Structure 1
Amino acid sequence: MNTHNVTERVIALDKLDPNQHGQLKYASAFVDEHIDDIRLADGKLIVSHHAPDGGERIAAHVERLIERFSRGDFGFKEHILFEHRGPTPYRGDIIADLIEAKTIKVLEPGLFIFREPFSSLLRFFDDSFVKRVAEPFGAKEESYPAVIHLSTLDKTNHFTSFPEHIHFLNHLRDDLDVIESFSESVRQAGGWKEDAPLDLNKTMPKPRLAMNPSTCYHCYEGLQGETLEGDGIVATAVAKCHRYESKNHADFGRLLDFSMREIIFVGKPEFVRENRLKAVELLKQLAVEWEIDCLIENANDPFFTNDFQVKASFQRNQEMKYEMRLTVPYIGKSIACSSVNFHSTAFGTAFDIKTGKRPATTGCVGFGLERWVFAFLAQFGLNEEGWPAAFRDQYRAWQTKSR
């Protein structure tokens, strides 16, 4: 945090439905680069900042977001599909425990190095989701790049829905003078400096690629222009995903770089709908068997657009997105660890994927692997003897088999 001339700006949220306070806090983190911290308290948004104008611009931008989020009388449909109360015997600060044990190394908020046993749990959860959720659908394993074409992101409407998340990828120009000049400037400065003068227009071309923000996008790109046979296909892949989320990276489990396992359905509408509902049932079975404290509820994506209310309300009212939220006892909140999504024909149309003569319907089930491990350990702790018996037995059997 920048501690030079840090002040607070308190913004009342009387105009906004309390159910949207969390989404406003999330979006407000992006409004100005002088923000150091942002939090909710007693129906108010408290912004710590070092803005030279005393926070006037920050307050004005937050008011714009409040207006955007409250525009129209749409209302949010709420629907809890499933709720399971687990024992949650552990109540400690799991992040502090993991840091103290040197199981994780924090490079910066949202960017971690994971060591044992966290790294083994990541692989165990992934293998479990493949075996317990992907394989019942006969899903075929695919492998995707960590980067994606900007033209592909354009087809998914990512630029107009989540522009704040994008990590652009670039390189030095193919120019000997540029390359040598850059290298020499770093050498003379005694190494790379964060404040090093870097004229992007002179040293870099316009980017063509970005870090991949979502695993399933590559699946649709790979099917572009194809006509599918039968009812459809099911693919699965795990990929490193990247989303810039500003000060929100300080929130529990909100990573800059994370692993996302997805099961992706592409085909006829009923094929996708039925498989999506079957996936929900498989998630319920895992929750009960592993004694996880969680719920599955209707949700919406954090759209960052002027038509936020229209998009979010449509998504909720059509029940296009379900989230499986796992309780984190020591902060008294839950975090989304899995999502079950229905896209209708949006991606089938965008990528010219057909079933017969009609655009294909798509849907997917996503698992944020690091979040699953964080939330599980937050409920049960690092001592294996305190883990649910079924989970512990499966994990130990997996360890024996994977050696």
Structure 2
Amino acid sequence: MDKQVSFLDQLFDQGILHDSGVDGLYARSDLFEEVITRFEALAKSFGKDETSEAMVFPPGMPIKDFETSGYMKNFPHLAGTVHAFCGNDHDHAGLLQCLEVGEDWSENQKPTDVALTPAACYPLYPILARRGALPAEGAYVALQSYCFRHEPSRDPARMQMFRQREFVRAGSADQAIAFRETWKQRGQDIMKLLELPCTVDVANDPFFGRAGKMMGSSQREQELKFELLVPVNSAANPTACMSFNYHMDNFGKAWDIRQQDGSHAHTACVGFGLERIALALFRHHGMDVESWPAGVRKALWG
């Protein structure tokens, strides 16, 4: 039996996750949520003296900001948008008839001004832009958001709706790069506390199409993205549980985020895949948290 399915079935059997009938969309138990909450507290403790503010975003963002991000150009295969019924009484009657006989009822569903958030940092950038020029020290923001990516899978570490905990740095190139390098080391330090095996390697985003392959190669060559990989389903294909990204001034230009001298801001972010880290803990330490190693329990529960 496939190892991914086997691990997912174990999670279902133990009541840690609950099947919805749609791959990558699961209900989560109180225990699963508690592990995530404990991990978030641990992660936030590493940057608590540096962050200037914290925000939590809903799973949707304005469609205009979504378009500005370039996500639809680069990752259309992963994107999701919110549609709603926009018909009249006659259209409603037709919708009811379609539902009755099991036919397609989506004809009068139209796009709204909301897109599903693909990355936790995206809603932050237009907020920073609207404030005017960044202070001399830049911005250092802690974020959390539910995110969506359309890639249904039986791999429990590849959910369609998931949460990201992020820290974002906006300012000069030196500030952004130093931030990313600091968090690359912190990420490994956190994994040591959790007694999870990991490696850090250069990576690229899953850009779409032929041109996307060239963009991915360029991203790797410039070492703009690194991932912290943990074996969750197999040692041969470890899962990216953290990412460390330097965007140069791409987002600064896209949203017109300025520094004090008028130049466009550079940005960097570190992202923690909260569900993936929880799954890694259950995979390596077992389904009974009471039997997890003492050091892991101390790091999470104190």
When Rg is computed on C-alpha atoms for both structures, the one with the higher figure is 1
TM-score (norm 1): 0.69
Q: Output the amino acid matched with 1:243.
A: R
The partner residue of 2:181 within 277, 286, 298 is 277
Which secondary structure state, in structure 2, belongs to the residue aligned with residue 216 of structure 1? coil
1:348–1:330: structure 2 CA closer, same or farther, 3 Å change rule? closer
Note the alpha carbon deviations across 1:263-307, whole angstroms, 9 max, x for none.
011101111111111111111211222211111110000110321
Query: Residues 84 and 111 of structure 2 are in contact (CA less than 8 Å); yes or no, is this contact kept in structure 1?
Result: no
1:349–1:232: structure 2 CA closer, same or farther, 3 Å change rule? same
Query: Residues 188 and 198 of structure 2 are in contact (CA less than 8 Å); yes or no, is this contact kept in structure 1?
Result: no
Query: Residues 297 and 322 of structure 1 are in contact (CA less than 8 Å); yes or no, is this contact kept in structure 2?
Result: yes
State the 1:317 CA deviation. 1.2
Alignment of 1:4-403 (within 5 A): 93-107=6-20, 108-132=22-46, 134-173=47-86, 178-188=87-97, 193=102, 195-199=103-107, 203-225=108-130, 226-246=132-152, 249-328=153-232, 332-355=236-259, 356-397=261-302
C-alpha distance in 2 between matches for 1:182 and 1:163 = 30
Q: Output the amino acid matched with 1:391.
A: V
Query: Residues 163 and 304 of structure 1 are in contact (CA less than 8 Å); yes or no, is this contact kept in structure 2?
Result: yes
Number of positions where the alignment pairs a residue of Structure 1 with one of Structure 2? 297
Note the alpha carbon deviations across 1:26-80, whole angstroms, 9 max, x for none.
xxxxxxxxxxxxx9xxxxxxxxxxxxxxxxxxxxxxxxxxxxxxxxxxxxxxxxx
Percent identity between the two aligned chains = 24
C-alpha distance in 2 between matches for 1:255 and 1:235 = 25
Query: Residues 252 and 265 of structure 2 are in contact (CA less than 8 Å); yes or no, is this contact kept in structure 1?
Result: yes
Query: Residues 14 and 287 of structure 2 are in contact (CA less than 8 Å); yes or no, is this contact kept in structure 1?
Result: no
* Unmatched runs of 5 consecutive residues or more in structure 1: 1-38, 40-91, 398-403
1:188–1:155: structure 2 CA closer, same or farther, 3 Å change rule? closer
TM-score (norm 2): 0.90
Equivalent residue, structure 2, for 1:70: none
C-alpha distance in 2 between matches for 1:140 and 1:326 = 30
State the 1:191 CA deviation. 5.5
C-alpha distance in 2 between matches for 1:216 and 1:317 = 24
Q: Output the amino acid matched with 1:306.
A: R
1:328–1:204: structure 2 CA closer, same or farther, 3 Å change rule? closer
Worse overlay, 328-337 or 317-326 = 328-337
Which secondary structure state, in structure 2, belongs to the residue aligned with residue 229 of structure 1? coil
Over the aligned positions, Cα root-mean-square deviation in angstroms equals 2.3
Q: Output the amino acid matched with 2:154.
A: A
Query: Residues 42 and 300 of structure 2 are in contact (CA less than 8 Å); yes or no, is this contact kept in structure 1?
Result: no
C-alpha distance in 1 between matches for 2:283 and 2:236 = 11
Equivalent residue, structure 2, for 1:71: none
Query: Residues 168 and 268 of structure 2 are in contact (CA less than 8 Å); yes or no, is this contact kept in structure 1?
Result: yes
